[in-house]
């Protein structure tokens, strides 16, 4: 009992001393980025990935695209609009949007407030409307009104990030792509 009491007293004394002393506060160091090993093209990791891809292809040969669209341009627009929203909400808005502006050439002539009025329910409408307008103009001026089929060209468009580019490349152009958001991409 005496040793316990002595230990408790010394702990209490240390606590009092540490609360009186003011030590300089060190800033927490940023964690180092996770370094993943490089994948050997002939290695077992790639063959495992190929097996998984084959199994997924067998199970889901024609996976449905939840965003309603009639062209690669409309898919690109719908993907952009789905950020911070749901596919269900996007599908409620896009019929009117695409009825009025079905192509990049037509949407490039639209006024931003008109686009914003239609997509307002999706959230972030001012930014999305500006991006839709700017993207349409770039598509017309630099790509003849067509959606480019390269990651680099897609990601250079206003409002288009890696995930949207991956969705369009995989769904519109049948390129191998794995669309993931930034949180997943950070860990992969």
Q: pLDDT tens across 107-125, in order?
A: 999 999 999 999 999 989 9
For the whole prediction, is pTM greater than 0.75?
Answer: no
How long is the chain? 188
DSSP track, 4-35: HHHHHHHHHHHHHHHHHS-PPPPPPPPPPPPP
Residues 6+ apart with CB under 8 A from 181: 163
- In this prediction, residue 132 carries a pLDDT of 98
Q: Look-up: residue for tokens 């316990």?
A: 4
Residues 6+ apart with CB under 8 A from 177: 151, 165, 166, 167, 169, 170
C-alpha span between 162 and 102 (Å, rounded): 24
- In this prediction, residue 7 carries a pLDDT of 45
Domains of the chain: 72-187 (1.10.340.30)
Q: Residue 8's pLDDT band (boundaries 50, 70, 90)?
A: very low
Put residue 153 in one of left, alpha, beta given phi > 0 → left and psi -120 to 50 → alpha.
Answer: alpha
CB distance 87 to 113 below 8 Å: no
Q: Look-up: residue for tokens 């084959």?
A: 54
- Three-class SS state of 56: helix
Residue 177 pLDDT more than 80? no
Q: Please return the burial class of 160, using the count of CB atoms within 10 Å of its CB with bins 0-12, 13-18 and 19+.
A: buried
C-alpha span between 21 and 81 (Å, rounded): 55
Q: Which residues are catalytic?
A: 163, 181
Q: Please return the burial class of 169, using the count of CB atoms within 10 Å of its CB with bins 0-12, 13-18 and 19+.
A: buried
Q: Report pLDDT digits (tens) over 50-94.
A: 788 788 888 887 777 889 999 999 999 999 999 999 999 999 999
Q: Report pLDDT digits (tens) over 12-54.
A: 454 455 444 444 444 444 444 434 344 455 566 667 877 887 8
């Amino acid at each position: 009992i005496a040793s316990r009491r002595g230990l408790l007293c010394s702990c209490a004394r240390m606590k009092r001393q540490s609360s009186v002393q003011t030590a300089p506060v060190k800033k927490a160091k940023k964690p180092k980025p996770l370094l993943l090993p490089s994948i050997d093209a002939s290695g077992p990791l790639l063959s495992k990935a190929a097996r998984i891809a084959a199994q997924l292809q067998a199970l889901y040969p024609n996976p449905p695209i939840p965003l309603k669209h009639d062209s690669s341009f409309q898919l690109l627009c719908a993907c952009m609009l789905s950020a911070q929203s749901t596919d269900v909400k996007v599908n409620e808005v896009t019929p009117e949007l695409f009825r009025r502006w079905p192509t990049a050439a037509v949407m490039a002539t639209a006024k931003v407030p008109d686009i914003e009025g239609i997509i307002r329910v999706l959230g972030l409408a001012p930014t999305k409307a500006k991006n839709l307008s700017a993207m349409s103009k770039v598509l017309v001026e630099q790509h003849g009104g067509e959606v480019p089929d390269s990651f680099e060209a897609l990601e250079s468009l206003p409002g288009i990030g890696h995930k949207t580019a991956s969705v369009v490349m995989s769904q519109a152009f049948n390129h191998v792509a794995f669309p993931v958001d930034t949180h997943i991409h950070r860990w992969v």
